[in-house]
Amino acid sequence: MDCPTVTHTAPASTAAAGAGRLAGLTSWGADWAGLRVVVTGITKTGFSVADTLAELGARVVVVASSHDDESRRAADTLRIVGVEDVILGRESSTVLPLVGGEPAELVVTSPGYRPSHPLLAAAADAGIPIWGDVELAWRVRTREGRKTAEWITITGTNGKTTTTTMVELMLQAAGLRAIAAGNIGTPILDAVRDPEGYDALAVELSSFQLHWIQSLEPVASACLNLAEDHVDWHGSFDAYAADKAKVYANTKAACVYNAEQIETEHMVEEADVREGCRAVGFTTGMPAISMVGVVEGLIVDRAFIAERKDSAVELAHVSDISELVPRHLVANAAAAAALVRAYGLTPENVRDGLIAYESGDHRIQPVATSGGVLWVNDSKATNPHAAAASLSAFKPVIWIAGGLSKGVEYDELVSAHAGRLKAVVLIGEDSSALAGALSRHAPDVPVIETDKGHTGREGVAETPIFGDAVMAQAVAAAAQLAEDGDTVLMAPASASMDQFSSYAHRGQSFINAVRELLERRASANKES
């Protein structure tokens, strides 16, 4: 039987009083004691939020839809550290609970919860403020006896993790105590609560996190690019773009934008920033004044030097970045350089950071070269914009693609890169949108479809074995078509959760399938 959705509505006077109190909560030492807070989610982000609030002395109730062993263990730990209650289960997660018998004064939500979620909608209707973990982290970042880090914030449809990692390495090359945090592994609250503190934080922000921010004042900020993504979460592309633009609000030194995408420049033009903040562009071509760009294989700065009207300073060689340097990776490096130059780093710091950079797994990752065929894993290309960056780097391509589309369209992607495609191997339970785009814009390109199978649960792969079998079939089909000079590129342009547990699982499945295929070939050749 389905449980009815029950919401507890705060009286208007209670909500107004709570909002007034929240305005004064701008440091770790503020009066957080007794604040009634509901936290949504109990995984990495939700756990860090609840743990932080309990340490601050707030009264906390955690609500999460999951009810597995890991969630129950997390719940037990949170109760030990002082969280009043943890409510698990899908039905319960739609209810806005009371805290100690009274309405909540604040909700702090994990990024996965959409604004339309019943619990968040109930809070909004009751006038209860809603924050994300990033807003909470900004408010508690100042603590007596510890360093207060400057924040450099990065968002964009693609390239966030790469650019954030580069910024982190450049800051560390300058001898600063710095870490990448936010949407990149280390929860932002864990970084803020570090016992020693940091000089600077490189903060990757998703559109989900940006939706809930209010108070951030980064020293430098960037939106790397903008393309259709997460329309299902935001409700429309315009809403998604508006949340991305929030990265520039209140920036103090430099708003860094993509000079090759006018939409990001418009975001900066419309942003409400601090006095003295500059607009600085980045490009993979020749930079104009107040830009970082590329000249004859060099990344150069025409923004942060006195003689920028008629000269530029060398920051690094493009070849310092990595073995494979596609155009989008150069753009990421230029953006990172602009951000840290705004912070005050030297050209040497930029160069040393790029030399230290190692391309992460699952992002245009060379897996093997055999018989003149290059096999490349770009499982992190979870949307058309990311896949376009991969496709533009290789020709001819046997493209392994498909999965959960997240409501996006593929016509522009396919029409732009049809000339690079030798064949396409489709994975995913339902790749009809991609198949349709291929039939319209690349009708002469052979398309091979793998078995769809059945996961047993909507949108979630039942076992890793299912996804691995799909990928083995896709790799075998690609191998039948690949010849000397071809690239087999697994860049799905889709999310992974229909057949795999994550993009990392999908990428590792591709790596394993390629290695097993090549080992079988090598063994067969020895026997013959």
Residue with tokens 């009043």: 84
**Cα-flanking dihedrals φ and ψ of residue 86, to 5°?**
-130, 125
- H or E segment and range at residue 80: helix 69-80
298-301 vs 291-295, strand pairing mode: antiparallel
Q: Coil, helix or strand for 327?
A: helix
Of the candidates 498, 410, 516, 394, the one whose C-alpha atom is nearest the C-alpha of residue 450 is 498
Can you say which residues are annotated as belonging to the binding site? 156-162
Query: What backbone torsions phi and psi does residue 65 show, to the nearest 5 degrees?
Result: -75, -25
Q: Cα(131)–Cα(233) distance, rounded to whole angstroms?
A: 17
Phi-psi region of 159 (alpha: psi -120 to 50; beta: other; left: phi over 0): left
Amino acid of residue 433: A
Report which of 387, 158, 495 is spatially closest to residue 377, judged by C-alpha positions. 387
Per the annotation, binding residues for ATP are 156-162
Contact 449, 426 (CB under 8 A): yes
Cβ atoms of 161 and 204 within 8 Å: the answer is: yes
Contact 459, 498 (CB under 8 A): yes
Question: What DSSP character marks residue 4?
Answer: P
How many helices and strands (H and E) does the chain possess? Answer: 18, 20
A 10 A CB-CB count for 359 gives 17
User: In this structure, is the dihedral angle defined by the CA atoms of residues 226, 119, 45 and 217, taken in order, positive or negative?
Assistant: positive
**Alpha helix positions (H), 59-178:** 69-80, 118-125, 133-140, 160-173
- Distance in Å from the first CA to the final CA of the chain: 64
What is the rounded CA–CA span in Å between residue 48 and residue 157? 25
CA dist 48 and 79 (Å) reads 13
CA atoms within 13 A on the CB side of 509: 28
Which of 294, 48, 332 shows the shortest CA–CA distance to 182? 48
Structural tokens at position 133: 């973990």
- Residue matched to tokens 């105590």: 177
Q: What is the Cα–Cα distance from 210 to 221, expressed in whole angstroms?
A: 12
Residue 93's φ and ψ, nearest 5 degrees, are -70, -10
